[in-house]
Amino acid sequence: MNASRKQSGKLLYAQSGGVTAVINATAAAVIETCRKHKVTAYAARNGILGALREDLIDTTREPPAAIRALKHTPGGAFGSCRVKLKSLEDDRARYERLIEVFRAHDIRWFLYNGGNDSADTALKLSKLGKAMGYDIRCIGVPKTVDNDLVVTDCCPGFGSVAKYTAVSLRECALDVQSMMDTSTKVFVMEVMGRHAGWIAASAGLAGEGRDDAPHIILFPELEFEEEKFLARVRETVERVGCCVVAASEGIRYADGRFVADAHAGTDAFGHTQLGGVAPALAGMVRDKLKLKTHWALPDYLQRSARHIASKTDLEQAIAVGRAAVELALAGENAVMSVIRRVSDSPYRWKIGTAPLDAIANREKKLPRSFITMDGYGITAAARRYLAPLIRGEAPPPFDRNGMPEYVALKNASVRRKLPAFDA
């Protein structure tokens, strides 16, 4: 591939699904690597919707300092969305529209930064491009706080939410322990991860000994047994004086119902009572064990907490972005840049490549070997895997008022060339 060929097409970058504390670091790496190769990088506004609507952003209008600042700015700088394209047959018009938009703007490389759904979309697009005779290279770039992608050793975004979770849990456990003699005895912290217990497992890094918090972790991979759980809470309070619980939002009863949904109800006004695992568990403990409870549900705070991001996670987010551009420009297609673990201790990793069809639509759950026999804790194997991912701090710069200096891009639109499309 010679230099003139490289510069003849443009690269389109899109973010997909829930954002993370470090997805913008991947974006920054993509843009900086494009600049290095003198390739114009566009970004799709609001993810794949922007590509469908021909709502494109010209990243060349951003100064280098703004792109650098993306590395410490959470959220999704160009917007993201939760739109999943169906099969080529069911969603043909949309896939064809994408190729049409690519053609109109001479987009020759498409980088899709997301999870297994996005890997599927990128894969389908690469096939359709071939079928429609349009030369497009589609590269997946991993991102998901849930850490549920197969093949890659871990997903950028996860390490930071894991660090937030472990640090926050240790901090609030110190709080609970200070007051347990006369106040809260049971504290429940709800964490994300509806289908996979990686984030719940990361809470386990907050402590090491048997009596360290979290005393109970509830994983979505295991059936929730109320009586057994309550017995363990009671026993822990009797032994330790308090019980700190980390619970995945996705735990279910034996019949498959989510605990959060089962305990949703209506309030005195007849309004919907929004569910939540933490309040459901805390209510159970209060009603059945008559113990004082408190609970926390950090929700988006956990996945946007750039201020306590993992340096390892940040470095990997940057590396997968850079590698994805290099793969694209080298002519690779239908692959994803992934993290390969070389060793646990010392922790070493490198960037690898995996075919999208090995990743698309699959889900990596927490292996049973990472969960203790009793179902309430993490094993040494889990610690070996998880510990390196939260290593290192990478705080954002703070301004003189004590607030992080997060950047807002100009996000200048590229002039439309096509008729509107109902995305």
Q: Does 243 bind its own copies (CB under 8 A)?
A: no
Nearest to residue 140, comparing CAs of 348, 339, 302? 339
Report the run of H or E that residue 261 belongs to, with start and end. Answer: helix 259-262
| CA quadruple 386, 350, 156, 65: dihedral sign | positive
Nearer to its own copies, 34 or 205 (CB): 205
387 binds its own copies (CB under 8 A): yes
Distance CA 143, CA 158 (A): 8
* 230 lines the binding site for its own copies (CB under 8 A): no
15 binds its own copies (CB under 8 A): yes
Binds its own copies (CB under 8 A): choice among 7, 8, 87, 273: 273
Secondary structure element (H or E) that encloses residue 12, with its range: strand 10-15
**Of residues 93, 131, 274, 381, which one binds its own copies by CB under 8 A?**
274
Q: Interface with its own copies by CB under 8 A: which range of 120-128, 326-334, 364-372, 396-404?
A: 396-404
Under the criterion CB under 8 A, does residue 398 sit at the interface with its own copies?
yes
Rg (CA), the chain: 23
Q: What amino acid positions are annotated as catalytic residues?
A: 146
Least distance CB 272 / its own copies (angstroms): 5
Look up residue 254 and give its two tokens. Answer: 């034996």
Give the alpha-carbon dihedral of 323, 327, 328, 333, to 10 degrees.
-130
| Beta carbons within 8 Å of 272's beta carbon, 6+ residues apart | 264, 266
Is residue 265 part of the contact set for its own copies (CB under 8 A)?
yes
Residue nearer to its own copies on the CB measure, 73 or 118: 73
Does 272 bind its own copies (CB under 8 A)? Our answer is yes
CB of 362 to its own copies, least distance (A): 24
Contacts with its own copies in 167-206 (CB under 8 A)?
A: 167-168, 170-172, 174-179, 181-184, 187, 189, 205-206
By CB under 8 A, residue 145 contacts its own copies: no
Q: How far is 192 from 181, CA to CA, in rounded Å?
A: 30
Q: Which of residues 40-69 bind its own copies (CB under 8 A)?
A: 46, 49
Span interacting with its own copies, options 92-100, 146-154, 283-291, 326-334, rule CB under 8 A: 283-291
* 289: contact with its own copies by CB under 8 A: no
Sequence letter at residue 172:
C
- Burial degree of 255 (CB within 10 A; 0-12, 13-18, 19+): exposed
Residues 6+ apart with CB under 8 A from 379: 369, 370, 371, 372
The count of C-alpha atoms lying within 13 angstroms of the C-alpha of 419, restricted to the half-sphere facing its C-beta, is 2
Between residue 73 and residue 132, which ones bind its own copies under the rule CB under 8 A?
A: 73-77, 79-83
**Judged by CB under 8 A, which stretch of 90-98, 147-155, 391-399, 414-422 contacts its own copies?**
391-399
Among 276, 321, 375, 377, binds its own copies (CB under 8 A): 276
Among 104, 301, 380, 412, binds its own copies (CB under 8 A): 301
- Residue 336's SS3 state is strand
Residue 377 near residue 203, CB atoms below 8 Å: no
Asked whether 9 and 109 are in contact (CB, 8 A), the reply is yes
Binding region for its own copies (CB under 8 A) out of 88-96, 107-115, 135-143, 260-268: 260-268
**Among 229-237, 295-303, 331-339, 349-357, which window interacts with its own copies (CB under 8 A)?**
295-303
Nearer to its own copies by Cβ, of 40 and 304: the residue is 304
By CB under 8 A, name the one of 132, 230, 297, 351 that touches its own copies: 297
Give 315: exposed, middle or buried? Use CB within 10 Å, 0-12, 13-18, 19+: middle
Of 304 and 333, which has the nearer Cβ to its own copies? 304
Q: What residue type is 318 in one-letter code?
A: I
- Residues 313-332: x where in contact with its own copies by CB under 8 A, - otherwise, as a string: --------------------
